[in-house]
Amino acid sequence: MTADIRPRHAGTEARKPLLAVQGVTRRYEGNRQAVTALEDVSFNVFEGEFVCIVGASGGGKSTLLNIVAGLDAPDAGHTLFDGEHVKGPGPDRVLVFQEAALLPWLNVRENVEFGLKLRHTLLADIAAKAERCLELVHLQDYQKLHPHELSGGMRQRVQIARALAVEPRMLLMDEPFAALDVQTRERLQDELQEIWMRTRSTVLFVTHNVREAAVLSDRVIVMTSSPGRVKCEIPVPLPRPRQMDSPPVTGVAMWIRAELQHTGPAGKEPAIASPS
Ligand code: ADP
Ligand code: MG
């Protein structure tokens, strides 16, 4: 991860995508009935982009992220990462989950360094990278604490620092703030925006919170549910930093919500959080 050197690109049409999801379908054979979690899902993500996927609960978002991470495989279609078929997990794609899975016997710093050690990073580099990532998430002063001594927000910060430390080419975030209280969630959204402005990491971020998507993304992919399909893509060309309650962010959030209104199964209201 290098600060502020990657160029941002104006158009997306002519460039080769970093991630290309092409016609992905995933069915689960249940005991009583089969579920089509994803049906013919296609989209691209370009280097340096922050893309949010928004859809109702049970709409196949985690399934999609697991497929991109290489933890699950589609029944039809394929996923290309930097032009190569995704065949399994790799250090170029790191998943950040809703609940931080930290190692309880390691302190904050050791948790951040853990992934680097697994990758046989040079000792001097481990120290420098851990230092920089702890600073990015504002945990420099909490390095010696253990997970049980941390709040939920701090545990998510450690998880984000640990993911950033290994410098993946793409961060995959699956509703990382969904379990946090509103104040902590908004604070972490601001911090993630600040981190992204400094690192320009490529991020694929799943949420069902429309305001979160509006404040964070360059582009929002709206999904239908049952089965999960791409309904539309909404570009978000607003300057950063963005304020959560600003009129433009509110406008985009309302647009996303309007697109979601009719995406649920016939006759059912979609299970979507309101933007307020
Ligand atoms: P989301 O993350 O959008 O809430 P999921 O990807 O978790 O949605 O799930 C999509 C659908 O696939 C749901 O109906 C869910 O019950 C089903 N599903 C997900 N994982 C499995 C599994 N391992 N076995 C059977 N059904 C599953
Ligand atoms: Mg999910």
Model pLDDT for residues 27-48, shown as the tens digit of each residue:
999 888 899 999 999 999 999 9
**pLDDT at 273 (0 to 100):** 45
Sheet holding 50-54, edge to edge: 93-96, 170-174, 202-207, 50-54, 219-223, 230-235
User: Does residue 2 carry a pLDDT above 90?
Assistant: no
**pLDDT at 13 (0 to 100):** 52
Domain end, chosen from 167, 189, 208, is at 167
| Ligand 1 atom nearest to 26, measured from its CA | 12
CB hemisphere CA count around 107 (13 angstroms) = 10
**pLDDT at 267 (0 to 100):** 40
Q: For residues 18 and 90, is the Cβ–Cβ distance under 8 A?
A: no
- What secondary structure does DSSP assign to 206-231, as a single string? EES-HHHHHHH-SEEEEE-SSSB-EE
CA 57 – ligand 2 centroid, Å: 7
- Do residue 66 and residue 107 come from a single domain? no
DSSP-derived letter for residue 141 is G
* pTM recorded for the entire structure: 0.90
**Is-cis flag, bond preceding 241, omega within 30?**
yes
- Do residue 9 and residue 28 come from a single domain? yes
DSSP run (H or E) holding 62: helix 61-69
CA 46 – ligand 1 centroid, Å: 26
Q: For residues 127 and 149, is the Cβ–Cβ distance under 8 A?
A: no
Give the domain extent around 18.
1-92+169-267+270-274
- Do residue 230 and residue 175 come from a single domain? yes
- Do residue 148 and residue 19 come from a single domain? no
Domain end, chosen from 167, 184, 217, is at 167
Q: Strands 76-81, 19-29: parallel, antiparallel or unpaired by DSSP?
A: antiparallel
| Ligand 1 atom nearest to 56, measured from its CA | 3
CA 63 – ligand 1 centroid, Å: 6
Residue to mutate, 61, 63, 64, 72, ligand 1, most ligand atoms under 8 Å from C-beta = 63
**Which is nearest to 162 in space by CA: 179, 143, 149, 175?**
143
- Do residue 129 and residue 186 come from a single domain? no
Share of residues in the chain with pLDDT > 70 (%): 89
**227-236 per-position pLDDT tens digit:** 999 999 999 9
- Do residue 102 and residue 152 come from a single domain? yes
What is the total count of domains within the chain?
2
- Ligand 1: lining residues by beta carbon, under 6 Å: 28, 30, 35, 37, 55, 57-63
- Do residue 239 and residue 148 come from a single domain? no
CA 121 – ligand 1 centroid, Å: 36
- Do residue 59 and residue 174 come from a single domain? yes
- Do residue 156 and residue 173 come from a single domain? no
Share of residues in the chain with pLDDT > 90 (%): 80
Mean of the per-residue pLDDT values for the chain?
Answer: 90
- Do residue 201 and residue 234 come from a single domain? yes
CA 214 – ligand 2 centroid, Å: 19
- Do residue 72 and residue 151 come from a single domain? no
- Do residue 16 and residue 100 come from a single domain? no
Question: At 225, which CATH number?
Answer: 3.40.50.300
Residue to mutate, 28, 36, 39, 231, ligand 1, most ligand atoms under 8 Å from C-beta = 28
Domain end, chosen from 118, 149, 167, is at 167
